[in-house]
Amino acid sequence: VENATPRRRVLLKLSGEVFGGGAVGVDPATVRGIAEQIAAVYDQVEVAVVVGGGNFFRGAELSKAGMDRSRADYIGMLGTVMNALALQDFLEQSGQPTRVQTAIGMAQVAEPYIPLRAIRHMEKSRVVIFGAGAGMPFFSTDTVCAQRALEVGADMVLMGKSGVDGVYTADPQKDPNAEKLDRLTYTEALHRNIRVMDQTAMTMCNDNGLDMRVFGMEAEGNVTRALLGEEIGTLVTP
């Protein structure tokens, strides 16, 4: 069914931490909860998801422990694919048609990353999950999120965070005087050395006029709220 007026299209970033519920691996109950919140709005907004992999491996950490950085980063990217498949499973169980596209070829479990095809999936109300990052070492899934959002023409990036519900003036876990900001610019975030998302991602969004909402995953229903465009968390703009 074609829509007369195009729907909002968003790129949701879920970091690996979100999948693990704080531990290594995938916490099924947590992923199911997120999937149900996405499935609840499938006919109102077009959704693509970039998944992180920090709940399995981070290349930089493996490399500090003595591994070759590039190979460690590939291990990190493969971790994101496990998250992608877990999310796909719970989305499908929630009645939400889903496609996984990976930046590293793995024909048995995912399509290759084909941007026009991803757009077509979204137009058909399928959620597209992008796995394996950019397929390139030395990148982060935050950066991939900005790049994919730009390439598939998303109206906005939604950064789902665990442990923090927006951008603060300082790290709220370390500084009791830290205050939450309703909005700020990428330039301010970069100057203040805000660490809730990586700087390459912010620069890319800033240079290309893409808004980002940073929100907390903990509060119940927040994913649905963010997908529907409610003003939760912090809005970061060029």
Give the annotated binding-site residues.
Answer: 13-16, 53-54, 58, 73, 134-141, 168, 171
Residue 8 main-chain phi, psi, to 5 deg: -65, 140
Interaction of residue 34 with ligand UDP, rule CB under 6 A: no
Interaction of residue 15 with ligand UDP, rule CB under 6 A: yes
Q: Which residues contact 127 (CB under 8 A, 6 or more apart)?
A: 38, 42, 47, 48, 49, 91, 96, 97, 98, 99, 121
Choose, by CB under 6 A, the member of 30, 88, 102, 140 that binds ligand UDP: 140
Q: How far is the CB of 51 from ligand UDP (least distance, A)?
A: 8
Binding region for ligand UDP (CB under 6 A) out of 37-45, 51-59, 106-114, 225-233: 51-59
Choose, by CB under 6 A, the member of 131, 133, 160, 233 that binds ligand UDP: 133
Interaction of residue 73 with ligand UDP, rule CB under 6 A: yes
CA-CA-CA-CA torsion for 235, 49, 19, 216, nearest 10 degrees?
10
Q: Which residues of 23-51 are buried (b: 16+ CB within 10 A; e: fewer)?
A: eeebbeebbbbbbbbbbbbbeebbbbbbb
Interaction of residue 59 with ligand UDP, rule CB under 6 A: yes
Interaction of residue 54 with ligand UDP, rule CB under 6 A: yes
CA 160 – CA 233 distance, rounded (Å): 10
Residue with tokens 């590293």: 104
Choose, by CB under 6 A, the member of 49, 77, 205, 226 that binds ligand UDP: 77
CA-CA-CA-CA torsion for 181, 182, 187, 190, nearest 10 degrees?
40
Binding region for ligand UDP (CB under 6 A) out of 91-99, 133-141, 189-197, 223-231: 133-141
Bridging pattern class, strands 211-216 and 234-237: antiparallel
Which CB atom, from 33 or from 229, has the smaller least distance to ligand UDP? 33
Inter-axis angle of helices 69-93 and 28-39, to 10 degrees?
60
Interaction of residue 137 with ligand UDP, rule CB under 6 A: yes
Q: How far is the CB of 220 from ligand UDP (least distance, A)?
A: 22
Q: Which residues sit at the interface with ligand UDP, rule CB under 6 A?
A: 15-17, 52-54, 58-60, 73, 76-77, 79-80, 133-134, 136-137, 139-142, 144
